[in-house]
C-alpha cells in the first residue's frame, strides 16, 4: 500500500488535537486528522461529554409543564440537535483549510512514523508524518463485578445521555464527581436515583463539611445514597436489574430499571499499536510523557486524557498550547507552569473548587485560617435570592502568614464562573484581603467574596 506523507498527523479529533491541527494548517503545514468515528468530530466534549451533559443539566433545572417523560425526551432531542450542529461546525473548521485532510477511520501504528487507517475490516491507507500527536481521549472503566458487563440494563454516561426514555429507577455505581452530576440531573428529571459507593461519603476527596452540604442538597432532591456499599453481583430480572451488595456487615439487594457505571475513565490506547511505535505507557495505561508532552519517541506527542493528566477539556486545550510552543514557538511552555487547576461538578447548584482543601493544607503543616458561610446567610449576595437558589456554602482556606488564598470550595449558584476569578487571583498572588475589598458588579454572585472573606475565621 502506498504511503501518503504529512508534516503533522493528529490521531483523535479532541479539543487539543483539533486546535493544533487548525493552527498548523493555517501555517500551511500538511496536516492529517484521523478520527475513528464521524459521530465524534470535535471530540468527547461536544459529543458525549461536557456539552450534552451540561445541556441536560440546563433542561433538568427548568422543568416545563409536560410530564417527566416528555420533558426528558424533549431535553434529549434538543441536546442531540445542539451536539449535531456543533459537530458539523467542528468538522468544517478543519475541512475548510486546504492543507488539512480529515480522514474517518481507526489509526494503528505500523512503526514509529507510520500508521494504517482502517474502516471496519478494510485497510484504507497508510500515513506517515514528521510529527505525530495522539489525542484519543479516554473511555469508561467498568469494574469487574459479576454480571455487570452482561447486563442489558447497564449504561455508561455515553449511553445515558442519549436514551429516549427516562429511567423510573436509576442505580448509580460510584459517588464521585460524575456520579453526583448524573444523580442530581436525573433526580430533577424525575427518576428515583440511588447511589452506591464503597466510600463513606460522596466526593470523598473533598472536605467533610462540603460533602455534607452537597449530600443534604442531593437528598433534598430525592437522591438516595448507600455508603460503604460493595457491589458483589448484578443480574437482570423481569423489567429491570437486581444489584447485590454488602454494607454494614450484611448482604442487601436493590432493584432498578437501569444501572449507570460512573466508576471512572481510562486512557484510550487499546488498538493503537503503541508497542510497534516504541511509545511507552505508564502502569496505569496512560501514554508516558515529559513536561512538554513528548513521548518516548521525540517526534510523537500525547495530549488530553490519553496522557494521564487531569481529564478536562481545558487541560487538553492547554496541552495544545504546550505542543504548539514546541513546534512553532519558543519552546518555553510546559506542564510545570500549570498551577491551580480548577474544576466544577455541575450538580444543582454547581460545586467548584481550586487549590488545597482544608484537610490537605493542615496535613502539609500550613498555618491556615478558614472562612466559610452558607449562601442563604450571605447578605451581600442578593443574586442567589433573585434566582431562587440559596442552597450551598462558600469556603476559603487562607495562609495565616501571607494572606494568600490556598484553596476555595464554592457550592452555590454561579460557582462555575466565580471559581475562575479565584483561580486567576491565586495564580497572580492576589491576597484574600484584596479579593475581599475588590469592587464587584451588583447584583452578582461574585460580590459574595466581600462578605465571606471578611468573616471571622471558623477554624
Question: Pairing mode, if any, of strands 250-256 and 343-345?
Answer: unpaired
Question: Pairing mode, if any, of strands 258-261 and 154-155?
Answer: parallel
Alpha-helix runs per DSSP H in 357-443 = 358-363, 382-386, 415-427, 432-437
Cβ proximity of 361 and 370 under 8 Å? no
Q: Which residue has the cell 430480572?
A: 237
CA distance 422 to 72: 35
- Whether 442 is a known active-site residue: answer yes
Of 146, 195, 160, nearest to 174 by C-alpha is 195
The C-alpha cell of 308 is what?
494521564
In what order do the strands lie in the sheet containing 154-155? 154-155, 258-261, 169-173, 192-196, 224-226
C-alpha distances out from residue 199 to 196, 260, 359, Å: 9, 17, 17
b/e per residue 2-39 (b: at least 16 CB within 10 A):
eebebbbbbbbbbbbbbbbbbbbbeeebbbbbbbbeee
The C-alpha cell of 29 is what?
503545514
Per annotation, catalytic residue among 165, 230, 252, 442: 442
| Interior angle at CA 265, CA 8 and CA 203, nearest 5 | 135
For 218, residues 6+ apart whose C-beta sits below 8 A from its C-beta are: 180, 183, 184, 187, 202, 225, 347
Active site members: 442
Amino acid at each position: 500500500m502506498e504511503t501518503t506523507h504529512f508534516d503533522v498527523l493528529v490521531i483523535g479529533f479532541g479539543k487539543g488535537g483539533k486546535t493544533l491541527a487548525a493552527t498548523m494548517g493555517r501555517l500551511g503545514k500538511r496536516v492529517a486528522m484521523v478520527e475513528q468515528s464521524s459521530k465524534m468530530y470535535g471530540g468527547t466534549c461536544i459529543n458525549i461529554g461536557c456539552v450534552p451533559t451540561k445541556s441536560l443539566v440546563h433542561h433538568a433545572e427548568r422543568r416545563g409543564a409536560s410530564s417527566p417523560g416528555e420533558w426528558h425526551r424533549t431535553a434529549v432531542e434538543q441536546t442531540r440537535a445542539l451536539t449535531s450542529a456543533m459537530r458539523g461546525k467542528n468538522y468544517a473548521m478543519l475541512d475548510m483549510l486546504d492543507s488539512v485532510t480529515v480522514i474517518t477511520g481507526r489509526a494503528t501504528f505500523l512503526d514509529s512514523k507510520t500508521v494504517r487507517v482502517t474502516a471496519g475490516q478494510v485497510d484504507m491507507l497508510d500515513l506517515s508524518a514528521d510529527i505525530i500527536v495522539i489525542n484519543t481521549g479516554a473511555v469508561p472503566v467498568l469494574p469487574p463485578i459479576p454480571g455487570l458487563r452482561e447486563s442489558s440494563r447497564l449504561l455508561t454516561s455515553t449511553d445515558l445521555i442519549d436514551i429516549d426514555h427516562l429511567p423510573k429507577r436509576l442505580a448509580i455505581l460510584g459517588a464521585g464527581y460524575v456520579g453526583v452530576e448524573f444523580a442530581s440531573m436525573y433526580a430533577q428529571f424525575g427518576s428515583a436515583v440511588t447511589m452506591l459507593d464503597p466510600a463513606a461519603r460522596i466526593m470523598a476527596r473533598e472536605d467533610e463539611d462540603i460533602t455534607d452540604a452537597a449530600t443534604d442538597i442531593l437528598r433534598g432532591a430525592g437522591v438516595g445514597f448507600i455508603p460503604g456499599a460493595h457491589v458483589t453481583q448484578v443480574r437482570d430480572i423481569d423489567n429491570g436489574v437486581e444489584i447485590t451488595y454488602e454494607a454494614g456487615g450484611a448482604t442487601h439487594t436493590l432493584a432498578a430499571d437501569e444501572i449507570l457505571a460512573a466508576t471512572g475513565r481510562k486512557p484510550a490506547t487499546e488498538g493503537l499499536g503503541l508497542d510497534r511505535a516504541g511509545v511507552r505507557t505508564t502502569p496505569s495505561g496512560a501514554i508516558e510523557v515529559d513536561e512538554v508532552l513528548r513521548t518516548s519517541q521525540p517526534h510523537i506527542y500525547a495530549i488530553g486524557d490519553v496522557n494521564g493528566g487531569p481529564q478536562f477539556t481545558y487541560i487538553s486545550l492547554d496541552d495544545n498550547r504546550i505542543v504548539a510552543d514546541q513546534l512553532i514557538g519558543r519552546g518555553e511552555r510546559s506542564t510545570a507552569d500549570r498551577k491551580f487547576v480548577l474544576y466544577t461538578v455541575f450538580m444543582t447548584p454547581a460545586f467548584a473548587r481550586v487549590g488545597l482543601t482544608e484537610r490537605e493544607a493542615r496535613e502539609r503543616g500550613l498555618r491556615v485560617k478558614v472562612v466559610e458561610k452558607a449562601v442563604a446567610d450571605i447578605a451581600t449576595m442578593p443574586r442567589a435570592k433573585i434566582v431562587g437558589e440559596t442552597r450551598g456554602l462558600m469556603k476559603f482556606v487562607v495562609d495565616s502568614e501571607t494572606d494568600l488564598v490556598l484553596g476555595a470550595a464554592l457550592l452555590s449558584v454561579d460557582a462555575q464562573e466565580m471559581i475562575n476569578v479565584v483561580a486567576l487571583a491565586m495564580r497572580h498572588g492576589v491576597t484574600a484581603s484584596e479579593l475581599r475589598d475588590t469592587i464587584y458588579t451588583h447584583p452578582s454572585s461574585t460580590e459574595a467574596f466581600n462578605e465571606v472573606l471578611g468573616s471571622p475565621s471558623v477554624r
